[in-house]
Amino acid sequence: MNDFDFDPLEPLPMRPEEEVEKEIWQPSWDCFCCRDSGKISPNLVRRVIPGYNYSRDRLPVCQNCNKGHDWFHLDDLGVIDTRLGPVICRKLDALAREDWRLTAQAWFEMVKQRVEKETGEIAQEHNLRRRDRISAEFILAKKKHELARGDWEEIKEKKDEDEEDQDEEEVAEE
Ligand SMILES: [Zn+2]
């Protein structure tokens, strides 16, 4: 029998109640069994009580931390379930911690891959710009060479006014 296998318990019906499960990447709670609420998280309860129905069954109270004590006075009212003792709660705490660790790891991997992809794209973009700059410099160098050769007049005749202006700007940048 696996260390984290439990003897199944029967659900203890209570009264309907709804709760929205919040997703938080960085858990701020100390007790992973009940998230410091004193009530064992329903998904963890189902590891011990497979047929557990949060809307119907008694609330299993945490015995891994002292938060569960706040609920023990309700025992007489038949709304809490105290069968999940300290040993079970400690195991549930360990299970939840491992779940969080894996979730955080998967999240981290996803972010890392996205950053690497974006970094690669930026580098590629940078290389293209650099290549464009090199070809621009090559054209400019060729122009200078043409000027030095004295065939500037001949080139000028083939261009319109706009291109002439551009040429002047480029030469000015020397
Ligand atoms: Zn707890």
Q: For the segment 124-153, what is each residue's pLDDT rounded down to a tens digit?
A: 777 766 667 667 666 667 666 666 655 444
Does residue 72 form part of some domain? no
Percent residues over pLDDT 90 in the chain: 31
User: 71 C-alpha vs ligand 1 centroid, how far in Å?
Assistant: 11
- Kindly report the pTM of this predicted structure: 0.53
- Domain extent, residue 164, equals 113-172
Span 70-89, pLDDT tens digits: 888 887 788 899 999 999 99
Does residue 141 form part of some domain? yes
Does residue 107 form part of some domain? no
Question: Is residue 63 scored above 90 in pLDDT?
Answer: yes
The residue ranking higher by pLDDT, 107 or 29, is 29
**Alpha carbons 88 and 48: distance in angstroms, whole number:** 8
User: 48 C-alpha vs ligand 1 centroid, how far in Å?
Assistant: 16
User: 80 C-alpha vs ligand 1 centroid, how far in Å?
Assistant: 14
User: 32 C-alpha vs ligand 1 centroid, how far in Å?
Assistant: 7
Residue whose structure tokens are 């200078």:
144
Phi-psi region of 15 (alpha: psi -120 to 50; beta: other; left: phi over 0): beta
User: 90 C-alpha vs ligand 1 centroid, how far in Å?
Assistant: 9
- Give 152: exposed, middle or buried? Use CB within 10 Å, 0-12, 13-18, 19+: middle
User: 85 C-alpha vs ligand 1 centroid, how far in Å?
Assistant: 11
User: 97 C-alpha vs ligand 1 centroid, how far in Å?
Assistant: 12
User: 44 C-alpha vs ligand 1 centroid, how far in Å?
Assistant: 12
Does residue 120 form part of some domain? yes
Comparing 14-23, 36-45, 125-134, the range with the smallest average pLDDT is 14-23
Counted domains in the chain: 1
Does residue 154 form part of some domain? yes
For the chain, count helices (H), then strands (E).
5, 2
What is the structure's pLDDT at 36?
93
